Amino acid sequence: MTAFAELGMMPEIVQAIEEMEWLLPTDVQAEAIPLILGGGDVLMAAETGSGKTGAFCLPVIQIVHESLKEKSGGGQQVGGGDASKKVVMNPYDRGDKLAISSEGLLIQCREQRAWNGCRSSSGVGGGKVYYEAIVTDEGLCRVGWSMGHASLELGKDKNGFGFGGTGKKSYASQFDDYGEAYGKGDTIGCYLDLDSGVVGFSKNGVYLEDAFQVPKQLMGQTFYAAVVLKNAEMQFNFGDQPFKYPPEASYGYTPLSKSTQLVQAMAMSARPSKPGSPRALIIEPARELAQQTGDNIHLFSKHLSAPRIRDLLVMGGDSAKDQIKALQAGVEIVTGTPGRLDDLITTGKLDLSAIRFFILDEADGLLSQGHGDLINKIFSKIPKVSPEGKRLQMVVCSATLHNIEVKKMADRLLHFPTWVDLKGQDSVPETVHQVLCWVDPVKDASWRSLEGTRVNTDGIHSKDNKRSSNPESLSAGVKLLKAEYLVKAINEHKMDQAIIFCRTKLDCDNIEAYLLSLGGGPKAMVNEYTCVCLHSDRRPQERKENLQSFKDGEVRFLICTDVAARGIDIRGIPFVVNVTLPDDKQNYVHRIGRVGRAERMGLAVSLVATVKEKVWYHKCANKGRGCYNTSLLEDGGCAIWYNEPQFIADIQEHLGVSIPVVEDSFQVPVSEYDGKCFVGFFLQVMYGEKKSTKSGSKGHVAELATSVQELAKMEKHSQSIFLKMATDKKWFL
């Protein structure tokens, strides 16, 4: 049995994996695949290139295939009842800070300042019913009955009746003494008699007295079991297990779960889906990443048949007509980017009624791009439980799970997710050498001779007095020097392939134009500075071709923004150059983490200005197109001052390191213990090559030779003393 088969993958998928020469699952695959196959929600953090796409695609493909097979009669239905009719606490009718266990009967709220409520998945419209609630931890709680449209804070409006741990009953925000207080270990019995309109409660089997008379206008409506907690925990029993204190038989009460008048909550029901509606929806923040995921789905599922898996890529720039036609014909898995998905969902072309998997890849990127509202919109339209009683599964992947926005979203949308955090807090592998070079326009005034040459800048200083030493002039100097320093770094390290990061699309275009002017062209073997750009202003087909030419080694340099490069898996890159630092320290880690993979050495060079740089920050309606307003944002313009000295300080504090500084010669300091190896008589790094296990061994042995000789003498001396002692009888008395 292969390693992937041991994770539960079916033979047809294992065959496809083996043909891709995946012999062993990566760490993230080994952890996530069984969890997803088991039906749980998963939060996943791992580096790009760690196999996380396979970690969610493989189990999703298998479950979708098996569900299709079951529907067509090719499999056996597990279980004999309708799981959706079981009475539990409703995970889709609860407060944001209230958690419900997987079996739906234990609820908990650790919020200390606000109440969070919840209702049951089914209610009743008549008869006499009973359930029990056990206080399993200290805290404030209130239990009882409410309508489906009532406030979740039980007893605060005219549609709910509660009994609190302080010994108060509550209705319409009126709190009156009732019975006695209760706390941890107590069992509260909740009675509802809709024949006579009475609500009552018991404590540990002792009926307290009738608490409420149900108003006539509420008779005939559906009543649900309800609770509200503040830093508390309760366990519910609706009658599927024996009650601790069952009502006397003569009272005529039926367990809530056994009532013949059960009504399922609307939030738990799902309408039948159209034939051929998608079963899985994957959202990616960029075209290239969506394409990459789609390609993997094709490869993983190619041996599946009867039924086969139909998948579809929906992205801007491709024919919407063809995508709609494919959706009408029927697909099982949809992978797409936010803009086109929003269009198809809004116009009703993409049906969400059958979605069983909702996957957010690079969730931190999606949120930073402003797609949080779209995620909420899609989530609200997806049924949370299928007609077969199967719960919606969510998988969220992120560069880091420590992003506060990702945490908030996960708390709101996911159901008791398991964390697979193989990245942890940000750190840099020892295979990555990171250095910074200060770009100082005061110390290095050579930028003045570059003005008016082939070095193009963003034009933000085109109307400034360039000869003065004011901040605007120095900012212009930074822009010119960075282009020159980039070329120096390339030449010093003879970079044959590198990713070059710039802040904006315009900066990318300018760097591309400059490198091409120095000797760019179609083939890296003959052109020293050949390069391509990757950003959203380039046509989709051009972006696809540019990325492929870089992957194939036909060009040396890929110039891109953070957004364009997010999540793209390009292996074996030896160099990264940050022409501009990112303003988000986590993006810095994400950038430099593209080198030093698979035990290969990598170098990350950052060009850091010593002064603030004035840059574009377009808030205008046309997003910068044709904009020449160089005033600062606070003055109604589209410019800000970019503070790289502060950014590099934040990055170093975040990583807990001091990044080595190099001069503008870009010679990296030599150390015998960081993966460098001898080339001739010189110690240097072979970036892009695997870290040598003999790294620096020649110098290391020579350095330790004297110490080893001394240790040998000491060992010989100590053994001589021991032998002398062994022959002297006084030591054995």
Q: CA angle at residue 533 from 479 to 582, to 5 degrees? A: 50
Binned at pLDDT 50, 70 and 90, residue 70 comes out as low
Q: Point out the least confidently predicted range of 283-297, 532-546, 627-641.
A: 532-546
Model confidence at 693: pLDDT above 50: no
Measured CA to CA in angstroms, residue 87 lies from 81, 134, 222 at distances of: 13, 16, 14
Asked which of 639, 670, 701 is the last residue of a domain, the reply is 670
Of residues 421 and 180, which shows the higher confidence score?
Answer: 180
Q: What is the pLDDT of residue 411?
A: 84
The whole domain housing 594 covers 432-670
Contacts of 650 (CB under 8 A, 6+ apart): 585
pLDDT, mean of residues 134-145: 96
Same domain (yes/no): 294, 324: yes
Contacts of 450 (CB under 8 A, 6+ apart): 480, 481, 483, 484
Question: 10-19, 204-213, 312-321: which has the highest mean pLDDT?
Answer: 204-213
> What is the pLDDT of the chain when averaged over all its residues?
84
Write down how long the chain is: 733
Query: Can you list the positions of beta strands (E) in 627-685?
Result: 639-642, 677-679, 682-684
Binned at pLDDT 50, 70 and 90, residue 153 comes out as very high
Contact at 8 Å (CB) between 137 and 184?
Answer: yes
Q: Kind and range of the H or E element at 715?
A: helix 697-727
Neighbours of 87 (CB within 10 A): 26
Fill in the amino acid letter for 628. Y
Q: What is the pLDDT of residue 683?
A: 45
Same domain (yes/no): 224, 288: no
Q: What is the pTM of this model?
A: 0.55
Model confidence at 641: pLDDT above 50: yes
Same domain (yes/no): 564, 440: yes
Model confidence at 647: pLDDT above 70: yes
Same domain (yes/no): 437, 417: no
Fill in the amino acid letter for 680. G
Same domain (yes/no): 473, 608: yes
Same domain (yes/no): 364, 464: no
Q: What is the pLDDT of residue 55?
A: 93
pLDDT, mean of residues 639-668: 92
pLDDT, mean of residues 377-405: 81
Of residues 693 and 131, which shows the higher confidence score?
Answer: 131
Same domain (yes/no): 199, 52: no
Binned at pLDDT 50, 70 and 90, residue 274 comes out as low
- Determine, yes or no, domain membership for 676: no
C-alpha span between 357 and 335 (Å, rounded): 12
Model confidence at 78: pLDDT above 50: no
Same domain (yes/no): 211, 311: no
Cα 556 to chain centroid distance, Å, stands at 31
Q: What is the pLDDT of residue 185?
A: 96
Q: What is the pLDDT of residue 404?
A: 83
What share of the chain in percent tops pLDDT 90? 48
C-alpha span between 295 and 281 (Å, rounded): 15
C-alpha span between 358 and 360 (Å, rounded): 7
Same domain (yes/no): 538, 654: yes
- Determine, yes or no, domain membership for 650: yes
Return the CATH number at 371. 3.40.50.300
Q: Point out the least confidently predicted range of 319-328, 399-408, 694-703, 721-730.
A: 694-703
Q: What is the pLDDT of residue 271?
A: 47
